[in-house]
């Protein structure tokens, strides 16, 4: 997966170290649980009401409540808090859990657009935390769009060999 | 992926809560960094010298040093320590990172056999920690064998539709 990381850096300008600078501080302790709930609630409310139908449709089989809970629990776990996500759902296994979504680069960009807006609407998130989180989200969005597309292409290539 | 969790519970007798009981205590703080290095060094030395050629061959394109470092860093990160793994390699994305390995159920069992032996050869790991870790490893090994095989089957099914 080294190739993916190089490709992400090329597309986003972010090294892995920059993307993972969320780990240099404990954002969960700094921001508190409620802040993560606010962020994800604002984010998914935007997503579920997106004027861009193609993007809104990616989430059409999900309930707003589930989408928010999954995201909040993953963020809290990943950013230094309790492992709520794993206790309820097991391994994050990010690429595998996104296989059913149509995660093209355009979707990654739209996801990031809404997340940037959402971050700016939560006053409790200071500029430094915001930057760390946007770097992490940017890396992750591209990681998923490349990773999921890569798996799907591998499927197609394998089928060609049958 | 709810189906996978149910299947793992059926095969292993472990609920997600039991599998993730590694999170109820900070095993990194309890056991210390050196213990994880010892465990993975013993484990992979066994694996790379396995008398079962089919299992040893799964790792034939890996160096012993890399295998140990990747495992140690992932374990430390997952069990309450610094995010060494993500800072060097990015998201764990467990299923995607195991796609190139031939992870059948038999391989999961062989992996667990060596890990159980390795755990018993590190005196610093107390019985309670050992149990939590084996539960986690058991869940994870089956999760990967089912998840990776599932992805591979999905590839085959997709190819049938072309």
CA angle (B84 as vertex; B29, B32 as ends), nearest 5: 20
**Beta-carbon separation of B87 and A23 below 8 A:** yes
All residues at 6 or more sequence positions from A100 whose CB lies less than 8 Å from its CB, including other chains: none
A96, A154, A160 ranked by CB distance to B147: nearest: A96
Q: Is B31 on the interface with A (CB under 8 A)?
A: no
**Number of domains present in the structure of chain B:** 1
User: For the domain that residue B61 is a member of, what is the CATH number?
Assistant: 1.10.490.10
Tokens at residue A124, please? Answer: 């409790």
CA dihedral sign, ordered A148, A152, A157, A158: positive
Tens of pLDDT along B108-158?
A: 999 999 999 999 999 999 999 999 999 999 999 999 999 888 776 776 676
Burial A19-54 (b: 16+ CB within 10 A, else e): bbbbbeeebbeebeeebbbbbbbbbbeebeebeeee
**Beta-carbon separation of A151 and B93 below 8 A:** no
Tens of pLDDT along B37-55?
A: 999 999 999 999 999 999 9
**Beta-carbon separation of A87 and B17 below 8 A:** yes
**Domain region containing B109:** 2-160
Q: A with B: how many residue pairs have Cβ under 8 Å apart?
A: 107
* pLDDT computed for residue B148 by the predictor: 82
Alpha-carbon distance of B147 to A152, in angstroms, equals 15
Tens of pLDDT along A87-135?
A: 999 999 998 888 888 788 999 999 999 999 999 999 999 999 999 999 9
**Beta-carbon separation of B93 and A19 below 8 A:** no
Q: Is B155 on the interface with A (CB under 8 A)?
A: yes
Tokens at residue B71, please? Answer: 């495992």
Alpha-carbon distance of B102 to B57, in angstroms, equals 10
A82, A147, A159 ranked by CB distance to B93: nearest: A147
**Beta-carbon separation of B86 and A143 below 8 A:** no
- Chain A hits for B16, Cβ within 8 Å: 86-90
Task: Read off the pLDDT band of A162 (50, 70, 90).
Answer: very low
Tens of pLDDT along A21-66?
A: 999 999 999 999 999 999 999 999 999 999 999 999 999 999 999 9
pLDDT, averaged across chain B: 92
A99, A143, A159 ranked by CB distance to B90: nearest: A143
């Amino acid at each position: 997966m080294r190739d993916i990381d190089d490709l992400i850096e090329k597309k986003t300008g972010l090294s892995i170290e920059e993307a993972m600078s969320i780990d240099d501080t404990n954002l969960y302790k700094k921001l508190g649980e409620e802040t993560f709930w606010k962020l994800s609630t604002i984010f998914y409310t935007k997503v579920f009401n997106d004027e861009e139908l193609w993007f809104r449709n990616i989430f059409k089989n999900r309930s707003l409540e589930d989408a928010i809970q999954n995201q909040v629990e993953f963020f809290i776990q990943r950013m230094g808090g309790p492992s709520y996500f794993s206790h309820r759902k097991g391994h994050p296994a990010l690429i595998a859990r996104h296989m059913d979504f149509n995660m093209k680069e355009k979707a990654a960009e739209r996801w990031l657009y809404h997340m940037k807006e959402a971050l700016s609407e939560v006053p409790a998130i200071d500029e430094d935390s915001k930057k760390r989180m946007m770097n992490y989200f940017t890396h992750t969005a591209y990681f998923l769009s490349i990773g999921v597309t890569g798996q799907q292409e591998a499927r197609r290539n394998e089928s060609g060999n049958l």
